[in-house]
Structure 1
Amino acid sequence: MSARTRAGLSDYPRPNVAVDIAVLTVVDATLCVVVQRNTDSEGVALPGRFVRERHTVEETVREVLELKLGLSPDHVRPHLLAVFSDPDRDPRGWTISIAHAVALPADELSDVVGEVAPVTSDGQLTSGERLLYDHEQIIAAATDNLRERYEDQPDPDNLLRAPYTLSELRELHEAILGRRLMRDSFNRRVQPLLAAEITADGQPATRVGGGRPARLYSKDAPPTATFGWRLPSAEGREK
């Protein structure tokens, strides 16, 4: 192509660029996502923001956290999930979404701006209400990503406050994975990656629930430590 016919940047159409964030948590053994009411289009969507002129994606992520969600951008660090670029994904115009995801303990979302809504494994709200744009696809990708991590490590996103019992840890993994797990196999898999809590007098720390006292644990393994293979399902057995 000659210099006379070579196209310049201004000759190419430019899409809008947005950042959308899926904030996941577990409430009452149920996987949830933070959604917000969109008053302009009378629908529900993930919190997001268009990238402003001369702003970076990282700056926009911080703006969504602080301005849209009321969260501290210095303590909450979403990770890049995927780019969603279907030209028809947003009826308002050609928009590319640089989607991010983060999982936070439920108590850190007590003052979040939005609704903490139960969600299915395929990104649908359990209420049956549909999300705007392709945000169900973003949530589905975020939950898939979360499940991959929880198949591999004990509570890698620290959704449980230590110390906790093995039953509490297993129930968290079950809520995220969407299936029941074999109790004994799960315990054997996670115990080498945990530290048993000890009281001041050197005795095992326990918590009394509905039955006998249960040992308390916290994580005691490097971030690279894994279960080694997929967690076994209960397959109809009782917990």
Structure 2
Amino acid sequence: MNARPSPQLSDYPRPNVAVDIAVLTVVDGTLCVVVQRGGDSEGAALPGRFVRERRTVDETVREVLELKLGLSPDHVRPHLLAVFSDPDRDPRGWTISIAHAVVLPADDLSDVVGELAPLTPEGRLASGERLLYDHDKIISAATDKLRERYEDQPDPDNLLHQPYTLSELRELHEAILGRRLMRDSFNRRVQPLLAAEIDPEGKPATRVGGGRPARLYSKDAPPTATFGWKLPSAEE
């Protein structure tokens, strides 16, 4: 009796594999994501690319950043977000997405290919538009991860140019967390993790805004330092 031949890898169905990237930033106090539109007006989507033969995921991430977004991959730090593998997520065929997130200052996106779409506090497009495939879920996951970091540390993704005032830092965290924060409690949390700037005369460096001069700060804590517990909302 002949033994059944062992199955070969080619005997199994193979999904398409893609890399999709949610690029997040804050513009005028609003959390935004970069979306792109195809020439056939089929709708908006996150920038992405199928993994080509003999290419790695990391190489494909760099290709999306450079070829699709016009960004320098050497100056961008992508975060691996999650794998999205619902067999029905892409009507064009069985496709797995290895999703990443990138967080950059708005100034670094002045020439990005795409549009900066404002997001709601829930991580959906403020316009109400739905993205293609399951890219709304990818954005929601990316904003959740972003908020976890900003609930824990002062501007961990360096969206603000240092030095900055405590008010500027608080307003950034409010934009990302989607809620107003108690000013005094926020200041008490962040000040131990910051260093006050000193001017050439040895005096506290300040910046004049709409009111009295505000002191300037820069980060002065190891990357593992955290606030310790959730930042209190202004209404609490």
- Does the CA-based 8 Å contact 1:121-1:140 persist in structure 2? no
TM-superposed CA distance for 1:39, in Å, is: 2.1
TM-superposed CA distance for 1:41, in Å, is: 5.6
2:102 aligned residue: 102
1:40 and 1:87 mapped to 2: Cα distance?
25
Post-superposition CA distance 1:169-220 (Å, at most 9, x none)? 0000000000000000000000000010100000101111111110000101
Q: Which moved more, 1:203-212 or 1:62-71?
A: 203-212
2:195 aligned residue: 195
1:191 and 1:180 mapped to 2: Cα distance?
18
Q: Secondary structure at the match of 2:34?
A: strand
2:89 aligned residue: 89
- Does the CA-based 8 Å contact 1:121-1:178 persist in structure 2? yes
Post-superposition CA distance 1:154-182 (Å, at most 9, x none)? 00000000111000000000000000000
In the alignment, structure 1 residue 26 sits paired with structure 2 residue 33: no
- Does the CA-based 8 Å contact 1:105-1:158 persist in structure 2? yes
2:208 aligned residue: 208
Aligned residue identity for 1:62: R
TM-superposed CA distance for 1:26, in Å, is: 0.2
Aligned residue identity for 1:68: K
2:34 and 2:15 mapped to 1: Cα distance?
26
1:6 aligned residue: 6
TM-superposed CA distance for 1:128, in Å, is: 1.5
TM-score normalised by length of structure 2: 0.97
TM-superposed CA distance for 1:123, in Å, is: 3.1
Q: Secondary structure at the match of 1:23?
A: strand
In the alignment, structure 1 residue 69 sits paired with structure 2 residue 69: yes
TM-superposed CA distance for 1:102, in Å, is: 1.1
- Does the CA-based 8 Å contact 1:165-1:214 persist in structure 2? yes
2:55 aligned residue: 55
TM-score normalised by length of structure 1: 0.96
Q: Which runs of 4+ in 1 moved over 4 A?
A: none
TM-superposed CA distance for 1:7, in Å, is: 1.8
1:116 aligned residue: 116
TM-superposed CA distance for 1:6, in Å, is: 2.9
1:149 aligned residue: 149
Post-superposition CA distance 1:63-114 (Å, at most 9, x none)? 0000000000111021100000000000000000000001100000000000
TM-superposed CA distance for 1:121, in Å, is: 3.3
Where does structure 2 lack aligned partners over 5 or more consecutive residues? Answer: none
Aligned residue identity for 2:114: G
CA, structure 1 residues 122+11, in 2 after alignment: closer, same or farther (shift >3 Å)? farther
2:41 and 2:13 mapped to 1: Cα distance?
26
1:223 aligned residue: 223
Q: Secondary structure at the match of 2:7?
A: coil
Q: Secondary structure at the match of 1:155?
A: coil
2:35 aligned residue: 35
1:3 and 1:219 mapped to 2: Cα distance?
67
- Name the count of aligned residue pairs: 235
